[in-house]
């Protein structure tokens, strides 16, 4: 099964500070995704990537940047964290070949901005 590892698992940040959430996958998937999960909103797509060097805006990209320096790693960056970004963040990876169309999720990062 695909392995997606997120770090840190929990983070408390101060308003205005910079936060970097990291994600690593070991299955050579081309596509990687960052979502946030909030009650009443389900999972909302922030950024995604087709491969190393590429990033694409999802449905709620404002206030977030993404970086895909390699096939394995995909980071989500909050340059100026705000309390409204308090949430649980999930990274996922997936492939586009043949019938392997699903995405695999990490365990999530709980971010609190105070």
Residue 35 contacts another protein per CB under 8 A = yes
Question: Which of 59, 76, 75 is CA-nearest to residue 24?
Answer: 75
Helix, strand counts (H, E) of the chain: 0, 11
- 96: burial class by Cβ within 10 Å (0-12, 13-18, 19+)? exposed
Residue 99 contacts another protein per CB under 8 A = yes
Cβ distance to another protein smaller for residue 18 or 21? 21
H/E stretch holding 23 reads: strand 19-25
Closest separation in Å from C-beta 95 to another protein: 9
Stretch that binds another protein, among 14-22, 27-35, 61-69, 78-86 (CB under 8 A): 27-35
Closest separation in Å from C-beta 3 to another protein: 12
Closest separation in Å from C-beta 46 to another protein: 12
Question: Which of 1, 22, 10 is CA-nearest to residue 70?
Answer: 22
- Rule CB under 8 A: which of 46-75 touch another protein? 48, 50, 56, 58-59
């Amino acid at each position: 099964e695909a392995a997606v590892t997120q770090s840190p698992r929990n983070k408390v940040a101060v308003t205005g500070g910079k936060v970097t959430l990291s994600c690593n996958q070991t299955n050579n998937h081309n596509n990687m995704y960052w979502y946030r999960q909030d009650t009443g909103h389900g999972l909302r797509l922030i950024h995604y990537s087709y491969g190393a060097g590429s990033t694409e805006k999802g449905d709620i990209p404002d206030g977030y940047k993404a970086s895909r320096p390699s096939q394995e790693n995909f980071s989500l960056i909050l340059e100026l964290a705000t309390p409204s970004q308090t949430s649980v963040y999930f990274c996922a990876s997936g492939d586009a070949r043949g019938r392997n169309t699903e995405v695999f999720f990490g365990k999530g990062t709980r971010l609190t901005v105070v």
